[in-house]
C-alpha cells in the first residue's frame, strides 16, 4: 500500500514530502497546465522536490513519437515514471519500456484493458474512479474488477486508483482492491482529519488546563 500525491504544484509536493510517508507524485497534462509551465520545465523541478517516483504522462501519438518522448524523460532520472495512455500503441510502448522504467497504464476504463496492461508487463494500472462513476456508473466496481484481473493474470501489475474526489472514494477504492492511491493535497489533508478527533483534542486540552487530568 502506498499513497502518492496527484499534483504538479511545488508547494503541495514539498508539503507532502515533508510528511515522510507519501512515496511519490503523479502528474498528467491537465495538472501540468494548471501550473502554467511546460512539462519540460516543471518535471525536473518536481524530481528535485520529490525523492520518490515522479510520474510523467506521455502525449499520445505515433509509436516513434511516444518512444522519443519516453526516452527523453527517462534520461532525466531513474525515478522518472511513465504514465502511458491505454491504446494498442501505448501498450506496445509500455511493453518496450517496462524493463527500463516504472510504467503505468492510464486512461483505462475496462477490465479487458487491465488484462492487456498486465500482459504488457507494467507496474501499475491507474483507473479514474470518480470519472468512471460519472461516465460508466460505478468506478469502485471497476476498480474491484480490475484488481481481480491483475490477481488472476499473476504478473505483478497493481492498481493505483486516481480521480478520487472524497475520502470516502479513497477508502472504497482500497477496500475494493486498489493497492495504491494517488490524491490531491486537499484529499490528503482531509484523510488525516475528523470532527470527532478535533473534539477529543479540545476536550483533553480543556481538561489539562482545568487540572482535571482526565475526561470521563
Nearest to 82 by CA among 64, 63, 100: 100
Tell me which of 17, 32, 57, 83 is the catalytic residue.
83
The pTM of this model reads 0.91
Could you tell me the residue ranges of all domains in the chain?
Answer: 2-190
- CB-CB neighbours of 156 under 10 Å: 10
Taking the chain (216 residues) in runs of 10, the rounded mean pLDDT of each run is 96 97 97 96 97 96 96 96 97 96 97 98 98 96 98 96 97 98 97 86 78 54
Bridge partners of 159, per DSSP, are 125
83 is annotated as an active-site residue? yes
CATH 3.20.20.70 given to domain 2-190: yes
Q: Which residues contact 107 (CB under 8 A, 6 or more apart)?
A: 85, 86, 128
Report the distance separating Cα 83 and Cα 4, nearest Å.
Answer: 14
Amino acid at each position: 500500500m502506498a499513497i502518492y500525491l496527484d499534483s504538479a504544484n511545488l508547494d503541495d509536493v514539498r508539503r507532502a514530502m515533508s510528511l515522510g510517508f507519501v512515496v511519490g507524485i503523479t502528474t498528467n497534462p491537465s495538472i501540468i497546465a494548471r501550473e502554467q509551465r511546460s512539462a519540460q520545465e516543471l518535471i525536473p523541478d518536481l524530481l528535485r522536490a520529490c525523492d520518490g517516483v515522479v510520474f510523467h504522462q506521455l502525449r499520445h501519438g505515433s509509436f516513434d513519437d511516444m518512444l522519443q518522448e519516453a526516452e527523453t524523460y527517462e534520461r532525466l532520472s531513474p525515478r522518472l515514471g511513465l504514465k502511458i495512455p491505454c491504446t494498442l500503441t501505448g501498450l506496445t510502448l509500455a511493453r518496450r519500456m517496462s524493463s527500463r522504467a516504472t510504467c503505468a497504464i492510464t486512461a483505462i476504463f475496462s477490465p479487458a484493458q487491465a488484462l492487456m496492461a498486465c500482459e504488457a508487463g507494467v507496474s501499475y494500472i491507474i483507473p479514474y474512479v470518480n470519472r468512471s462513476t460519472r461516465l460508466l456508473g460505478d468506478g469502485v466496481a471497476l476498480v474491484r474488477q480490475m484488481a481481480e484481473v491483475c490477481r488472476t493474470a499473476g504478473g505483478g501489475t497493481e492498481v493505483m486508483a486516481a480521480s478520487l474526489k472524497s475520502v470516502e472514494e479513497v477508502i472504497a477504492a482500497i477496500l475494493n482492491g486498489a493497492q495504491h492511491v494517488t490524491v490531491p493535497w486537499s484529499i490528503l489533508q482531509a484523510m488525516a482529519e475528523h470532527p470527532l478527533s478535533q473534539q477529543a483534542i479540545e476536550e483533553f486540552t480543556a481538561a489539562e488546563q482545568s487540572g482535571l487530568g482526565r475526561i470521563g
